[in-house]
Every structure is written in structure tokens, then in C-alpha cells.
Amino acid sequence: MSKQKALDVLKTYWGYPGFRGLQENIIAHILSGHDTIGLLPTGGGKSICYQVPGLVLPGVTLVISPLVALMSDQQKGLEGRGIKSYHFKGSYTPRKLDEAFRNIRFGQYKFAFFAPERLNSELFQEYIKHADIGLIAIDEAHCISQWGFDFRPSYLNVHILRTLKPDVPVLALTASATPRVKKDLAEALLIANAKVFEDSIRRENLHLYIKFTPNKERQLFRLLKRLEGTGIIYAKTRRSCESLAELLQNNGHSADYYHAGLLPDVKEQRQEAWLSNELRMIVSTTAFGMGIDKSDVNWVVHWDVPDTLEGYYQEVGRGGRGGQEASAYLLFHQQDVARLQKGITDLPDPIKALEFYNKFCSRFQIAVGTGEDTAYPFSIVALANDFNMSVPVALSYIKLLQHRGYWQFQESSQIWPALEFTSKPLQWEKLQRQEGELLIQLLRIYPHAMHQPARIHLKKCAALAMLTPQQFERSLSYFEEKGLLKYLPETSGSSITLMDPRPHKRHLHFPKSFLDSWLQSKVERAQAMLSLLNSEECIFIELSKYFGQSTEVQPCGKCSSCLHDHYPDEHKVKQLLSEGNTIDDIWFDLNCSVDELRRFR
């Protein structure tokens, strides 16, 4: 395939005169039919790397991604350019699945997006096997590594695509990966001979500042007076997001918060307000910004220290995506250091984590040998209260069990309404005629609900029964009270999906080798973050070391470490003091040695 054809596609659909960075090399390698791993920094144009060859190659490009919101954004972007794409979301009956693949085949669709969980379905696999596939693209590919910072057990099934389509080239994309994760990618995806294209960690237009301050609030407000344009403030917890956004609003700033606990329509409204610059800043937990194509983010602030360097690098990379100069500030104090140190020593008890698993299954009435591929919605706060533990402890158990591959945790997910029959049609004969007919009708539409929870289309079912959705839900609740079925209403919140049927207690365990490796990786990531906070070396060089890139490069000359002033100008310090600035203000602004400043008191 010619490079010129790829360039023509880029110009036609995106209006760009040429490719950036390693994009051209990655695309050329894919078009020659070879498996490829692309490591491009956030804002490096990863989506172009599969979208352009997807339009050049015949057939459909399969895109696997972990987040529904990220896939929706990518699909909207393609549709906006007149490129037909399909997004598999919600439940699919065999008939609906057949219709979807027929539409893809005959409707000239070029892209099909889906979450890795889809591959649990043998029927879905069968359709993939017989579909005309030109390229397999795996976004956020680091999720496949058990020792990566964002492991998702569902990604372990992605290798099935290689066995179904052994001759189709595979492209694995992520922003960054340690040497261990790079090795895992090639092995787990069955692309051992894939060529790795790795862009430099360094972003020339991104200025990184790590600032210690005993008074974060004061320095944040001083900083915001100087920062121009739109930005993101990252906080660690939902409560921090809410309280900080309220503080900013009360001080006249155009700000709001965003986290997994918000209802979908509220999330969408706030994201749109920020994207259109109606809202200057968004205070968010870490997931915000993934896949969002906003080029004019001029600054990023970390109110809390991230747990990992992968998380830190991914989040600061959301600034300056349009090529403009951008700044990223990490504010920390002694409590942040103490929290990271505590995370190394206060590790979850494996025995109690297994007890948590059994309690969870009992809470949701999941019998041994059942529960596979079913999403169980819950409130993490309510669950922690019910189990008499703190939210952080509950989350530590949930994440340890996820690392072992027992389940997949979704902090933010929309659970579609579902029902499962707990009675037989023979028992319905004694009901009033209208009630019995409704149950028979539901059984015809969802026969598999006799054996497991089945997602239902509430509005369509209500229309068939000639009821309003509210009346239909009341009927389902009535049937549930009678013990005829189990109804799970639509919810938005956290959910857990079991990767396998619930095992018997004697088969539920953590092997010592797993615990040792898990502990080592957790400690290494925390220590790397602590090392960055204490380092006097160029921040980009520190990041290059961690990600296994060459450190034989010049310091960036722009970060807080490179600009550190050991001996501040005496006249400047006295002038700032006379203007009412505190020692902490001067230390923060001049980026100098605090020991030198003490002599000016």
C-alpha cells in the first residue's frame, strides 16, 4: 500500500498536510501487513494510527477499547467526518447481533468499536471469524498487562482475535509502557514479532513543575491568577473534587466537578460545557480526559499526588495537545508523601480480600458455579458501610481481586435494566389473564432469562404491553414481590462483572508467586513516585528512566528541577517580602532553596 494513499486519506478527512512524529512509520508498517506496537504520548495522535490505515485497507477495522465514553467520542469524531462506524453497546440477542453484522457488512461501515468483554460470547466470536476484517486495533493496550498500572482482566481475552483472524495485522496502542509491560503486550496479544515504535517521553511544548508547599489552597489560588485559558485540576477522591470545586466557585472561578458518581446526563452536560469553554476549569478524578479531543487545554494541576508515574504522565499529557505551550503543576505537601509511604506498608490482607469476595457473592446471591459475565451494580459507599469497613479498604480488596482476574471492576458504568425468571410458566396459570400474558410475552422475547439475568429494552417492552415505562416497571416490581422474577432496574454507578463462575471456597486463593509479584509491582510504582517528588534531576529524564528510554539526553531546561535557583537574588526577595508575600509564596514563585530564604526573615 502506498504512503501517498495514506497521506491522501489524511488530507481528505482530517485536513492535515502531513503526519506527526511516528505516525507515518507506524501506518506504513501496518499497511505492509505487519503487527505493530505504537507507544505515543497523550496528544501524540494515536487514533490517527488506526483510523487512516482502516480507511486505506479493505474490510472493517475492529477497535477494542476499555471505556464506553472513549469509544463514543471516537465514533462521533469519525461520523462527523462522514466515516461510517458502529459501536457495540448494550445487550444483544442473537437476532440483534445478526442484524448488526449484516449492517456492518452491507452498510459500508469501516470501523466497529467494542469492549473486550464482548469476546466472552462464542456467538460474537463466530461472527468475527466470518467477517471481512482488515485491521485489529487495541487501544489503551497497557490494560492487558497484569503488572501495568491499569490492568483489566477482560483484556486477557483479546488474544482470541489473533486466533480467529491469524492473517489480519494487529496494532496495539498506548501512551506509555515500562519494559515489563512492553514484553507483556507482545506475549499476551500473540504478536511476539511485532515491531515497537516508541516516541520520546519528552514533550517540547509541555512545562512540568513539581512544587512542595505547606499551603496548597493559597498557592493554587495564586497560580490560577497567572494561568490563562482552559485547564483541568485532578483530585484523588470524589469528595475532594466536590469540595475543591465549591471552594473555587465561591471565590469567583468558573469551575465544576466531574467524577464517576455523577448521573450520565450531568456528566455529558459538564463535559460539553468544558469542551465549549463555557466552563474554564473542571475538577476531576483521573478518568476524565481519556479520548477527549480538546486541543486548547493550556494547563493541568494535580491537587493530589498520583499513585503512579504512568498516571501522572498520562494526565499531564492532556495539556498542550494542539501544540501550544502548556504547563502542568503538581502540588504536594508532607501529607501526600505520608500517604504514598503508607500505601507501601498498609497493604490489603489477602485472606480478608477473599472473605470480601465471598461476602460480595452472598450479598448478590451468586451461587457457586454461577455469575459469569453478569454485571452486578452497587454503591461503593453503601457496600463499605454494609461490610463495616472504609471505602479505601473496600477498594483495595476489589482491586486486588481484579488483579488476580476474579472480576472486572467498573467505577463508573451504566447498567441496563435486566430480569431473570425465578418461576416456571406453569405457576403463571393462576395469575390474572393480563398478568400471565405479560410474563409469557417477556419469556418469548427473552427465553434465556430462564437461566440467567437478561438485559431488556424497557421502552420497547412497555410499548408492547401497551403501558408506560413507569407502569411496566411497577408490574415488574409486583412480579418480583410475588417471587416470579428478579428485576434489576437501570442504574448508573459502580459495577463488578465476574470473569468466571464463582468458585468453591477451596479453589479461591492467591498463589504466593502472584502475591510476591503484585507486592513488588505496587511497591516499585509507589517508590518511583516518591523518588520523583524528591529528585533534583530533570523531570523528563526521571520519566525516561522509568519507562526504559535512553537517558543520554540533555535536560529539558524548562521543568522545575532544571530551573531550580539555589541562590535567589537578595534584592528580588526583599522586594517580594515588602509587597506582602510570605516565605512560602517566594519559595513557590522563585523555585529556590528554602534554606537560603530563611536568612531573609
Instruction: State the CATH number of the domain containing residue 362.
Output: 1.10.10.10
Do 254 and 213 fall within a single domain? Answer: yes
Mean pLDDT by 10 residues, the chain (601 residues): 85 91 93 93 85 94 84 87 88 81 84 87 87 92 76 83 93 88 87 90 92 93 94 90 92 90 77 92 78 83 94 91 92 92 85 95 92 82 85 89 86 71 91 92 88 80 89 92 87 78 90 87 90 94 90 87 82 82 83 72 63
Q: Does the residue 337 lie in any domain?
A: no
Q: Give domain status of residue 516, yes or no.
A: no
Amino acid 403: pLDDT: 85
Co-location of 39 and 113 in the same domain: yes
* Domain boundary residue, one of 445, 476, 510: 510
Q: How would DSSP label each residue in 410-460? A: EEEEEEPPEEEE-S-GGGGGGS-HHHHHHHHHHHHH-GGGGTS-EE--HHH
**Statement to judge: residues 182 and 215 lie in one domain:** no
Note whether 552 and 579 are same-domain residues: no
Report the domain count for the chain.
Answer: 5
Domain co-membership, 16 together with 140? yes
Q: What is the pLDDT of residue 225?
A: 94
Residues 141, 264: one domain? Answer: no
Q: Which of 322, 239, 230 is nearest to 271 (CA)?
A: 230
- Residue appearing with cell numbers 417492552: 461
Supply the pLDDT for residue 172.
94
Q: What is the per-residue pLDDT for 428?
A: 93
Radius of gyration of the chain (CA): 26
Identify whether the C-beta of residue 420 lies closer than 8 Å to the C-beta of residue 449: yes
DSSP letters for 387-410: TTS-HHHHHHHHHHHHHHTSEEEE
* pTM score: 0.79
- Amino acid in position 47: S
191 and 72 within one domain: yes
Rounded to whole angstroms, the Cα distance separating 85 from 111 reads: 5
State residue 288's pLDDT score: 66
Same domain, 386 and 503: yes
* pLDDT score of 337: 93
515 falls within a domain: no
Residues 504 and 531 in one domain: no
Domain presence at residue 141? yes
Query: What is the pLDDT, as a whole number, of residue 291?
Result: 55
Q: Please indicate, yes or no, whether residues 189 and 79 belong to a single structural domain of this protein.
A: yes
- How many other C-beta atoms can be found within 10 angstroms of the C-beta atom of residue 251? 11
In a domain, 69, yes or no: yes
101 and 222 housed in the same domain? no
Whole-number pLDDT of residue 107: 72
**Count of beta carbons in the 10 Å neighbourhood of residue 12:** 11
Q: Residue 338: inside a domain, yes or no?
A: no
Q: Do 374 and 274 fall within a single domain? A: no
pLDDT value at residue 383: 86
Phi, psi (5° rounding) for residue 43?
Answer: 90, 0
Which of 139, 174, 198 is where one domain is finished?
198
Residue 313 lies in a domain: yes
Q: Considering Cα of 586, then 591, then 592, then 598, what sign does the dihedral take?
A: positive
The CATH number linked to 76 is 3.40.50.300
In a domain, 454, yes or no: yes
Q: For residue 450, what are the domain limits?
A: 418-489
